[in-house]
Amino acid sequence: MYQFKRLAASAAIGLWATTALAQDSITVAIQLEPPNLDPTGGAAQAIDSVLYANVFEGLTRFDADGAIIRGLAQSWDISADGTVYTFNLAAGVTFHDGTTMDAEDVKFSLDRARAEDSTNAQKGLFAGITDVTVLEPLVVQVTLDQPNGNFLFNMAWGDAVIVAPESIADIASNPIGTGPFTFTDWVQGDRLELTRNADYWGDAPALESATFRFISDPTAAFAAVMAEDVDAFIGFPAPENLPQFEADPRFQVLVGNTEGETILSTNNKMPPFDNVLVRQAVAHAIDRQAIIDGAMFGLGTPIGTHFAPHNPAYVDLLANSPHDPDRARELLAEAGFADGFTTTLKLPPPSYARRGGEIIAAQLRDVGIETEITNLEWAQWIEEVFKNKDFGLSIVSHTEPMDIGIYANPDYYFQYDNPDFQALMEELNATTDPAGRNDLLAKAQTIISEDYVNGYLFELAVATVAKVGVQGLWVNQPTAAVDLTGVSWAE
């Protein structure tokens, strides 16, 4: 009996010890599993979610609020004409395989991304680069063909991280970067493990190790959090379940903003949407609050233009398109569609689109516009809607930060062609003083809002459910990232 008691006691101590140990490791769940681990070779956001800032670093980076801060480049000089950037790299940086990170690696990474046979999904970020020269082991000079106010912002993207030439062959399965965590293991279909990089050049992270789990099914996600199988779920997939977590003292729910403007994309070249009156009628037919309540269970901020509401340059233009079905019917009659018309509504897989689509279809039917709903997979959506522009309406969230420039491209899938707007964007690119830029951005937002280019619905929100005690997680999602550098457990 005595022995048994001792055994029990030591078991208890063992148990206590593991709980104490668990405090410097974390299990975070995200919805999507990365298809491979090469952030420079694919568009899948899940790759960045796992690796950005944790395993890979770029010259610059986004901080938790979306500001551009120093990364591997500790300082930089910009030539007077704005076309030559000279970056001074951090000293003593090594890749996880032990090799030194220097200017040659930067040159290699940038040249690889912009090369003829590059498969970088965001090759456009590097389009203006004409030359990359190594000046000194830790000094690299990048020359652009013209001034680009966004260049430092571009270099912060996950697609612009610095990689080592030796690791490229296996990068998709064995990523080697310079970040605070090293990649340890990936059980495909289930989880991926990271361990603290003992030789990290910057401040050491608080966590010893981290496990990412991939749970895309909302029911499984709910059960995994409830059962405390995971410590945090970033981007919880079912907003309808959030009130249950909020009511539970074990959990904290963080709701943050993203860069995702969710819009009713409208094919501006396809009749009758080439008529601004019809687009305006659509805008008045939409009840944003019903969509946010019905599709997102209240999560999301209404927008009146294609711009993130948390951005200082945002202009509230909701007054241009209040929900007013009578006005919508009048406008349709004025445009010659008193009896309404029929169009297509092609929806990609996310639930904001599928659920939102059903609601919008009902709202449009109310003013006389019939829609044929087609649910598409992403691959089909890219081909049919994005590439072939074979659609009347679609719903999609544009998650790239600061992407109002897409309205200046007449070939972009919603085919908005307005020379005034295009001129405005050129002026914006050449403008560097912040006040002037904000003025131009406000003008741009107003133009597209008053032209009713697309139906502006809401800014996508991101919900994080975490155990009480987890601190330092990003609340907002300025870019797809789960940065664990500052994450720790409360005492």
Partner 1 sequence: MIRYALGRLTSLIISLLVASLVIFAVIEVIPGDPAAFMLGVNARPDTIAALRAEMGLDQSIITRYFDWVTGLLQGDFGQSWTYKTPVAELISDRIWVSLPLAIYALILSALIAFPAGIFAASRRGGPGDITIMGATQLGVAIPNFWFAMILVLIFAINLRWFSAGGFPGWGDPLQALKALTLPAIALALPQAAILARVMRSSLLDMLGEDFIRTARAKGLTRRQALWRHAVRNALIPVLTIIGLQFSFLLAGGIIIEQVFFLPGLGRLIFQSISARDLIVVESVVMLLVFTVIVVNFTVDLAYAAVDPRLRAKA
Partner 2 sequence: MSRNLIIGAGLSVLFICLAALSFIWTPYDIEALDIPNKLQAPGGANLLGTDHFGRDILSMIMMGARTSIAVALVAVGIGMALGIPLGLLAAARHGSLLDELIMRGNDLVFAFPSLVIAILITAVFGASAVNAIIAIGIFNIPVFARLTRGAALPLWERDFILAARVCGKSAARISVEHILPNITNLMIVQGTIQFSLGILAEAALSYIGLGAQPPTASWGRMLADAQTLVSIAPHTALVPGFAILLMVLGLNLLGDGLRDWLDPRIRVARV
Q: How many CB atoms lie within 10 A of CB 441?
A: 22
Q: Which is nearer to partner 2, 185 or 377 (CB)?
A: 377
For residue 22, give both structure tokens.
């668990």
Interaction with partner 1 in 389-408: which residues (CB under 8 A)?
Answer: 400
Determine the Cα–Cα distance for residues 350 and 356; give it in Å rounded to an integer.
10
3-state secondary structure of 328: helix
Residue closer to partner 2 (CB basis): 389 or 437 = 389
H-type alpha helices, 23-88: 45-51
**Closer residue to partner 2, CB minimum distance, 65 or 240:** 240
Q: Is 377 in the site for partner 1 (CB under 8 A)?
A: yes
Cβ at position 289, least distance to partner 2 in Å: 9
Stretch that binds partner 2, among 30-38, 216-224, 317-325, 471-479 (CB under 8 A): 216-224
User: What is the rounded CA–CA span in Å between residue 297 and residue 99?
Assistant: 50
Look at residue 362 and give the partner it binds from partner 1, partner 2, none, a contact being a CB closer than 5 to 8 Å depending on partner kind.
partner 2
Residues 339-398 interacting with partner 2 (rule: CB under 8 A): 355, 357-359, 361-362, 365-366, 373-377, 380
Query: Which of 361/453 has CB closer to partner 1?
Result: 453
Its sign, for the CA torsion 473, 479, 480, 481, is negative
Rounded Cα distance, 227 and 463, in Å: 18
Contact 256, 481 (CB under 8 A): no
For partner 1, the closer of residues 227 and 247 by Cβ is 227
By the rule CB under 8 A, 74 interacts with partner 2: no
When CB distances are held under 5 to 8 angstroms depending on the partner's kind, the choice from partner 2, partner 1, none that residue 359 binds is partner 2
Strand 369-375 and strand 191-196: the pairing is: unpaired
* CB closer to partner 1 out of 15 and 135: 15
Pick from 248, 293, 403, 417 the residue near partner 2 by CB under 8 A. Answer: 293
Q: Give the 3-state secondary structure of residue 241.
A: helix
241 binds, among partner 1, partner 2, none (CB under 5 to 8 A by kind): partner 2
One residue of 142, 164, 215, 470 binding partner 1 per CB under 8 A: 215
Q: State in angstroms the smallest separation of the CB of 235 from partner 1.
A: 16
CA torsion angle 409 410 411 416 (round to 10): 110
Site string for partner 1, 225-264 (x = CB under 8 A): -xx-x-----------------------------------
- List C-alpha distances in Å: 213 to 27, 61, 153: 7, 24, 30
What does 224 bind: partner 2, partner 1, none (CB cut-off 5 to 8 Å by kind)?
partner 1
Q: Rounded to an integer, what distance in angstroms lies between the CA atom of residue 99 and that of residue 177?
A: 10
Judged by beta carbon, residue 89 or residue 292, the one nearer partner 2 is 292
**Preceding omega of 272 cis (within 30 degrees of 0):** yes
CA angle 353–124–456, rounded 5-degree value:
30
Count of CB atoms within 10 A of residue 362's CB?
13
What x-and-dash track marks residues 335-374 binding partner 1 by CB under 8 A? --------------x-------------------------
Residue with token string 């009048």: 330
Minimum distance, C-beta of residue 387 to partner 1, in the bound complex (Å): 7
Binding-site size for partner 1 (CB under 8 A) equals 44
Say how far apart CA 150 and CA 127 lie, in whole Å.
12
Question: Residue 218 interacts with partner 2 (CB under 8 A)?
Answer: yes
Q: State how far the Cα of 407 lies from the Cα of 416, in Å rounded to an integer.
A: 6
Question: Applying CB under 8 A, which of residues 238, 318, 402, 442 lies at the interface with partner 2?
Answer: 238
Q: Are 351 and 299 in contact (CB under 8 A)?
A: no
- 380 scored as a contact of partner 1 (CB under 8 A): yes
> Mind giving me the DSSP string for 194-238?
EEE-TT-SSPPPS-SEEEEEE---HHHHHHHHHTTSSSEEES-S-
**Span near partner 2 by CB under 8 A; candidates 56-64, 119-127, 234-242, 277-285:** 234-242
| 295 class by beta-carbon count within 10 Å (0-12 exposed, 13-18 middle, 19+ buried) | buried
Q: Which residues here bind partner 2, judged by CB under 8 A?
A: 218-219, 222, 237-238, 240-241, 244, 290, 293-294, 355, 357-359, 361-362, 365-366, 373-377, 380
Q: Which residues here bind partner 1, judged by CB under 8 A?
A: 35-36, 38, 42-44, 116-124, 172-173, 187-190, 213, 215-217, 219-220, 222-224, 226-227, 229, 349, 377-380, 382-384, 386-387, 400
